[in-house]
Amino acid sequence: MNQQNRGFLHKYRSIVVAIVLFVSLDIALIAYNLAASYTIDRYTASRDLSGSMRSSTQIVLRSLLEMQADVAAGGTIGEEARTTLRDRAALIQNGLSALREGGSLPGDAEATVYAAATQPAQRAEADKFASLWQPYQQLLQPLLAADVIDAASVGAAASHGRRINSELFGAINRFVNATQDLVTRETRVLRIVQIVGILFALLNFLYTALLASRRLLEGDRAVARSQKQTGDILATVKEGLFLVTPEQQIGEQMSASLKDVLRQEVKPGQKLFDLLTPMVSAPIMEAARDYVGLLFGKRVKENLVYSLNPLSEVEIGGDTAQKRYLSFQFNRVLDEGEVSGLLVTVQDATERVNLQAEVASAKSRAREQMEVLLRVLNNDPAEVQDFLRRTESSLEQVNATLRQAARRSGENYLGLVNSVFRHVHGIKSEAAAMNLEMFESVAHAFELDLVALRDRGDVEGADMVKLALHLDDLFECLNSVRGLFERLGTASPAPASAPAGGESSPAQQLLASLRGLAKRIAADLGKEVRVTGDMPAFDTLPQGMADDLRSISLQLLRNAVVHGIEEPQERRQHGKAAGGIVHFSCRRSDTDGIDFSVRDDGRGISPRRVREALVRSQRYTADEVAAMPDRDVVMKIFEPGISTASESNRDAGHGAGMDVVLSRVNAMGARIALGSQGHSHTEFRIRIALPSAAAAA
């Protein structure tokens, strides 16, 4: 309030000064009028008193002459003459005292105050009159006091009165004139002061009126400028701005962007919550009503409830494609300490929310990179580099496949989808074996889209182009891990065909990866699995063949743990140990080839379950499946998209693993055989013919 007062005084200082001067001048004029009027009244009273004294001198002399005549005639003096003489003499005596010293006459009921003779002319005449009156008054005193008046006393007084009458009359008359001059002078001065005061007041009034008019015009221009600036702001600002009254109605002024931000018309006087009802859910609406009610209350501080705003970031619309986020911020508008309204600021927060999501995603990627770094550090650097090499090779082949799809038109791309699927599934399996979850999760997301395309059947070129996004994600993972290696200064070791010193051999590295993957899958499924191996020939294989067998091993391990090995309780029911065994073997054959096998002691392959999977895939009818021999049915597990899993997850259910195995076997020019017995075992045997150079080694 003090600041408002200071601001008001500063703004209207000139007008306030003019008004103060006007009031001060009026007060001064009134005060002077009162003082001057009082002085003039006293001077006037003194003039009138001296005039009465002047006439009284003549009446006293006349009374003496009448008394002298009565005495001379031998008669008695009349009481009327004596009374007149006494009264007039007393008036002259008391009046002389009042005129010389100021004050009132004794016995005056009105208590009129007379001005003392202060002017030299007055004082001189008063003294002159007093010097003449005192002897005269002494001669009159015996006449006034005695009961019997003798002729001598009357004659002496009358004779003295005739002698000084002219001087006495002249002195008092001059006093009257001097006093009248004072009255005239004071009256003239008062009139001049009044005229000057009126002129000054008029000038001050004109100045004040002119100044007020000027201020009014300036105020009007300032209001016009302010209104224009407000209009410019409301027309330019990107946020939606409007006021809400205590009746929760929208005010007259609002920004031009409000309509665009809300994407609907907003009318002055419209209820706030009628506007919000189509945009937000009922619970948020109820919370918003309570929040606005708190802001209009007097007891709650605005900054204490700021964080309770349910509309600070609210989703508008339910359609994902049209999903938007709006931010409503409420600020109190105070008028003399009372809440007169709320200023509502509406912003389209969609970009901010999306940016926050991107930042969160970036943080998540950073955490993933850190996790990858930790996981990478837990693996042998040479093995990680081999994984990166194999992954890059697979991604380049996928990229070539997608480019090939982009150049084709009017064809069904299902074969290309299966080709991409095999590469992606291989990357996923290797990443899982090395516990590189970032690669595994990205590849799994890639697989989900591939499954959708494969199951749809009719795949077009545009569908293949969309897969490039997943390919970019995998390349990003690859470059991220490779960048970590470069920052760590880890060089890619030269491949070795045999272990040196205390280093792990390729076979040992493979078995370690298989054991890690088996442990993780078994833990997810509530199973117990042990991986064993006898792979002396693996360390002598060419790099490409070793890579193929590694990929085959990972797929067959997944197949064994997910489909073959039973849960501990089921195994015990069939007289088996609680933990299953998956055994890998890689040896030289008698014909200078390689015999590679994977055997598990699980439940075996059930032709019935394979038949159900074939019918479920809708590629075969029930009659066609029923007519197939069990051997042919079992071999169908190598077809893409065929899986006996009841549900899909990151380890099974996509029908890609056995397709990868058969593809790798065919690429090596090898042969695969399958043997299985219910509740006993399943064994995959692969015979590979070595090139002459490798066979000689």
Q: Residue 9: what pLDDT?
A: 58
Please check whether residues 553 and 697 belong to one and the same domain. yes
How many domains, the chain?
Answer: 4
- CB–CB of 324/315 below 8 Å? yes
What is the arithmetic mean of pLDDT over 425-442? 80
Q: What is the C-alpha to C-alpha distance for residues 689 and 590, in angstroms, rounded to an integer?
A: 11
Instruction: Assign residue 551 the CATH number of its domain.
Output: 3.30.565.10
Say what percent of the chain tops pLDDT 90. Answer: 15
Kindly report, residue by residue over 466-489, the tens digit of the pLDDT. 677 788 888 887 887 787 767 766
Cα gap 665→624, rounded to integer Å: 28
Residue where the block lists tokens 């001379």: 72
Q: Please indicate, yes or no, if residue 355 is contained in any of the structural domains.
A: no
| Distance separating alpha carbons of residues 347 and 343, to the nearest angstrom | 13
Tokens standing for residue 211: 């100044």
End-to-end, the C-alpha distance of the chain in Å comes to 101
pLDDT single digits (tens) 643-660: 887 777 777 767 778 888
Do 200 and 289 lie in a common domain? no
Rounded Cα–Cα distance for residues 565 and 151 (Å): 174
Indicate if 204 and 65 belong to the same structural domain. Answer: yes
Query: Does residue 271 have a pLDDT over 70?
Result: yes
Tens of pLDDT, residue by residue over 32-57, are: 888 888 888 888 888 888 898 899 88
Looking at the structure, tell me whether residues 285 and 340 fall in a common domain.
Answer: yes
Q: Give the C-alpha distances (Å, rounded to integers) separating 5 from 14, 222, 240, 335, 632.
A: 15, 20, 33, 15, 100
- Between β-strands 580-588 and 529-534, what pairing exists: parallel, antiparallel or unpaired? parallel
Domain shared by 683 and 641, yes or no: yes
**For the domain that residue 473 is a member of, what is the CATH number?**
1.20.120.160
Helices (H), 412-541: 414-433, 437-456, 461-466, 468-488, 506-525
pLDDT tens per residue, range 56-115 = 889 988 888 888 888 777 766 677 878 888 888 888 888 888 888 888 888 778 888 888
Residue 356 lies in a domain: no
- How far is residue 507's CA from residue 496's CA, in Å, rounded to a whole number? 12
Q: Is residue 308 domain-shared with residue 388, that is, in the same domain?
A: no
- Residue 511: per-residue pLDDT: 92
CA distances from 448 to 154, 442, 470, 499, 652 (A): 155, 10, 11, 39, 12
Which residue do the tokens 């001049």 mark?
Answer: 192
Do 35 and 162 share a domain, yes or no? yes
Task: For residues 632-641, give the mean pLDDT.
Answer: 86
Q: Are residues 527 and 459 in the same domain?
A: no
Contact 434, 383 (CB under 8 A): yes
**Helix, strand, or coil (residue 670):** coil
pLDDT tier, 411 (very low <50, low <70, confident <90, very high otherwise): low
State pLDDT tens for residues 359-386: 777 676 666 666 666 666 666 777 777 7
Among the three residues 474, 496, 518, which one is the final residue of a domain in this structure? 496
Higher pLDDT, 462 or 15: 15
DSSP codes, 36-104: HHHHHHHHHHHHHHHHHHHHHHHHHHHHHHHHHHHHHTT-PPPHHHHHHHHHHHHHHHHHHHHHHH-B-
**In 3-state terms, what secondary structure has residue 271?**
strand
Q: How far apart are CA 511 and CA 585, in angstroms?
A: 11
Question: Which are the contacts of 85, defined by CB distance < 8 A and separation ≥ 6?
Answer: 60, 63, 64, 67, 140, 143, 144
Domain check: are 437 and 519 in the same one? no
Task: Tell me the average pLDDT across 204-224.
Answer: 80
| Residue 264 forms part of a structural domain | yes
- pLDDT above 70 covers a percentage of the chain that reads 87
Backbone angles phi, psi at 324, to 5 degrees: -135, 160
Cα 279 from Cα 287, distance rounded (Å): 14
The whole-chain average pLDDT of the chain stands at: 81
Domain presence at residue 353? no
| Between 376 and 393, residue with greater pLDDT | 393
Q: Say if pTM beats, i.e. exceeds, 0.85.
A: no
3-state secondary structure of 639: coil
Q: Which helix (H) or strand (E) holds 260?
A: helix 257-262
H or E segment to which residue 675 belongs: strand 671-677
Helix 381-407 vs helix 468-488: crossing angle, to nearest 10: 150
Confidence of residue 584 (pLDDT cuts 50, 70, 90): very high
| Joined tokens for residue 313 | 């970031």
Answer with the residue of higher pLDDT: 696 or 636.
636
Q: Is residue 228 part of a domain?
A: no
3-state secondary structure of 428: helix
For residue 129, is pLDDT > 50? Answer: yes
Residue 536 lies in a domain: yes
**Residue whose tokens read 């002496």:** 156
**Is 658 in contact with 637 (CB distance < 8 Å)?**
yes
- Euclidean distance between CA atoms 464 and 466, whole angstroms: 5
The CATH number that applies at residue 319 is: 3.30.450.20
Contact assessment for residue 566 and residue 603, using Cβ atoms and an 8 Å cutoff? yes
**676 in the same domain as 643:** yes
The residue among 299 and 280 whose pLDDT is bigger is 280
105 vs 586, residue with greater confidence: 586
More confident of the two residues 231 and 624: 624
3-state SS class at 599: strand
The boundaries of the domain holding residue 82 are: 2-210
Contacts with 607 (C-beta within 8 Å, 6 or more apart), sequence order:
630, 633, 634
Q: What is the mean pLDDT of residues 616-642?
A: 87
Last residue of one domain, picked from the residues 446, 465, 496: 496
Cα–Cα distance measured from residue 300 to residue 320, given in angstroms and rounded to the nearest whole number:
38
Specify if 217 maps to a domain.
Answer: no
Q: For position 697, what pLDDT does the model report?
A: 52
**Whether residues 524 and 430 fall in one domain:** no
The pair of three-digit structure tokens given for residue 448, joined into one six-digit string: 């989900």
Last residue of a domain, one of 477, 496, 515: 496
Residue 579 is predicted with a pLDDT of 92
State the pLDDT confidence band at 261, using cuts at 50, 70 and 90: confident
Q: Is the CB of residue 533 less than 8 Å from the CB of residue 507?
A: yes
Is it the case that residue 202 has pLDDT exceeding 70? Answer: yes
Rounded Cα gap, residues 260 and 256, in angstroms: 8
- Do 332 and 267 lie in a common domain? yes
Q: Which amino acid is at 318?
A: G
* Phi then psi dihedrals of residue 83, to 5 deg: -65, -45
Contact assessment for residue 166 and residue 130, using Cβ atoms and an 8 Å cutoff: no
Residue 685 binned pLDDT confidence (cut-offs 50, 70, 90): very high
Contacts of 116 (CB under 8 A, 6+ apart): 99, 100, 101, 102, 103
**440 within a domain of the structure (yes/no):** yes
Of 672, 688, 678, 520, nearest to 598 by C-alpha is 672
| Backbone angles phi and psi of 240, in degrees to 5 | -85, 125
Q: What angle do CA 244, 250, 256 make, to 5 degrees?
A: 110
CATH of the domain at 42: 1.20.120.1730
- Range name among 83-87, 107-111, 518-522, 596-600 with the lowest pLDDT average: 107-111
CA nearest neighbour of 519 among 610, 432, 398 = 432
Range 428-448 average pLDDT: 80
